[in-house]
Structure 1
């Protein structure tokens, strides 16, 4: 049987854990896929690649598939802007939300999806309420033995110190960092280092499109879906506005409106308008229960009435592929639910991450099979 050769480029989200974490995650999910399918997947060790990337190979011998997987790295740049000092995080969050109040089109965002608006707004609210509630409880208890002023001050200190774990469980610090990063991105563009990195990625992908692959996928996840639009524009510029039919841009857990609906993100609006005028394939897979993702949102119509790309918007319908006890639902699991796009459930989905990257099906065949599931 002739080998099916696939090239995968993966651009991840705002996550400092980087390639080691995601390579290990891929190996773990490949084992889950193997248990369900009976197809043995060989995931190689990772090695350094060009253009700040890491490479590994996935072999599906039973299906006759070889996938060259290229992880586009930017976790080093994330580490430089990852705010570790809680006081500094609070200060910069204030600046972020003042800018959101001035520039974010919350009315349009609410019409698109209500969940992501809640996700944007609940971190600062809980970041104030939880320490105050804990401070009140502590202050009232201490007020039985201390003067009121002393009980209030000590209670406030206890409330702030004790709020760390509950806030972390609700992913408040991570979301505040995410929002600050995208506030700066919207207002000022990628910045010198990230801009150069995106150019490196574009050069690499544009060159690889001429290689003899049966399928080429640019998979973007979370914050990577925002940067993926800028990257896609630059790929098309290097290719004279055309990409081969074997190429598809895939967005997983799309968050493009986080920047696209900022009125001051004019540079990003230009990127989206430029893409709206080009022919290429985009498949978005975003889950309605994912509080961070914008399910059923056409990214180019955020800025343009017309759109020439072939855009397909899908829900992964995770509830069909997980048992109830393993399905990520509820506020405490919102962060984990945002990573289900990269996992294999308790039942194989034709469009789960390993299926898209290691099966013999093309993405068109995977989607067609997915649509047959009642």
Structure 2
């Protein structure tokens, strides 16, 4: 434990496909760390960062009897997300057709369904919802056209019907904060647009991220921890693989650790042009330059729970070094009343990995986001006694395994 002791840590959090500014993550950390602290005896206090112009916060913590100083930073790509969500109503329906065609024609949809039905159903949800909205708009349009025309539609009735059609579709678009149809369609369309390849803007941002992490690895600290949540997990994979290839992970520097949460890597890696991501997965799955722990839960219908992203993508090579696949096991780590309250709140559950758990076992190696990010042990040491989940899915399932463009 002495060799793995952490006094100073840098944490880099890479969000998923989220257009909301990063302050929400600071406030989430503040609120949930207070809850987890009361349950587990952690003392966690947030403060402004000591240095740096990019968004983040500082943490002073006393966990498991040790004092740790943490600098948290969100690696922001929400501006890229917002720009990709710009298409209007007609463009979104075209995006729906194009995305459905990409996943169906490449066979990725059926292979993904064979891994986990939950995230595939989540991917089909915006298609079904957008079609339902279109049908509702058509019915309103027909009703107005026939109503104005009395017996049969006349030119005035047709105009009124068209106006009603547009009004209904605009109303649904305005209320998407409740339906999430447009949001999810843009999310899946973002990956499908280039059939798994990264858009140029994202590639440029990932290069920036790699530079930021490389600078931290040259600091006098004990651990650099990269956290990738949801779509942010596959971005983190590529950022870290680039650092390793470039020889920017010093063997005598801070421990480099990678925590992936609720990952959806197969949604991208199973597409035909995801050569870069598959190559990056191969690098991370066989390197000793970092420790990689992947946490998910079958109760999260938006993630490929307990799927080894390297193995299922068909790029595992020997020797395998990671990731260690662990289950957050919501049904066991949340009190029954908490689970009953959250189990139908699918999007909230997808963020549970960043929140407090009110029924954790008292073992030090239980998954506790705040102990991982603010505690005195490196990621590798904290989970050194854990074995992979017994429900691990590691069979190769992707039709496309090429790593060369």
> What TM-score results when the alignment is normalised by the length of structure 1?
0.85
1:283 CA displacement:
0.7
| 3-state SS in 2 of match to 1:13 | coil
| Cα distance in 2 for residues equivalent to 1:167 and 1:207 | 40
1:224 CA displacement:
0.5
| Cα distance in 1 for residues equivalent to 2:241 and 2:224 | 17
Return 266-275 or 284-293, whichever deviates more: 266-275
Cα 1:38–1:265 shift into 2, 3 Å: closer
Cα 1:90–1:36 shift into 2, 3 Å: same
The question of whether the paired residues in 2 share the 8 Å contact of 1:54 and 1:70 is answered with yes
| Cα distance in 2 for residues equivalent to 1:211 and 1:79 | 33
The question of whether the paired residues in 2 share the 8 Å contact of 1:198 and 1:231 is answered with yes
The question of whether the paired residues in 2 share the 8 Å contact of 1:142 and 1:155 is answered with no
Matched residue, 2:390: none
The question of whether the paired residues in 2 share the 8 Å contact of 1:41 and 1:59 is answered with yes
| Cα distance in 1 for residues equivalent to 2:386 and 2:281 | 29
Q: 265, 280, 283: which one pairs with 2:274? A: 265
Alignment of 1:94-243 (within 5 A): 94-133=97-136, 135-136=138-139, 147=150, 149=153, 150=157, 153=162, 156-157=165-166, 159-164=168-173, 168-191=177-200, 193-239=201-247
| 3-state SS in 2 of match to 1:233 | helix
1:112-134 Cα offsets, whole Å, 9 max, x none, are 11111111122112211244246
| 3-state SS in 1 of match to 2:22 | helix
Matched residue, 2:28: 25
Matched residue, 1:343: 355
1:46 CA displacement:
5.0
1:66-111 Cα offsets, whole Å, 9 max, x none, are 1121221222222222226333222222222222223352232122
> What TM-score results when the alignment is normalised by the length of structure 2?
0.79
Return 5+ residue gaps in structure 2 as ranges: 388-405
Return 5+ residue gaps in structure 1 as ranges: none
The two structures, once aligned, show a CA RMSD in angstroms of: 3.2
1:176 CA displacement:
0.5
Return 118-127 or 243-252, whichever deviates more: 243-252
| 3-state SS in 2 of match to 1:216 | strand
Matched residue, 1:358: 374
| Cα distance in 1 for residues equivalent to 2:133 and 2:205 | 39
Alignment of 1:314-325 (within 5 A): 314-325=326-337
| 3-state SS in 1 of match to 2:284 | helix
Identify the structure with the greater helix proportion.
1
1:291 CA displacement:
1.8
Matched residue, 2:45: 42
| 3-state SS in 2 of match to 1:64 | strand
1:162 CA displacement:
4.8
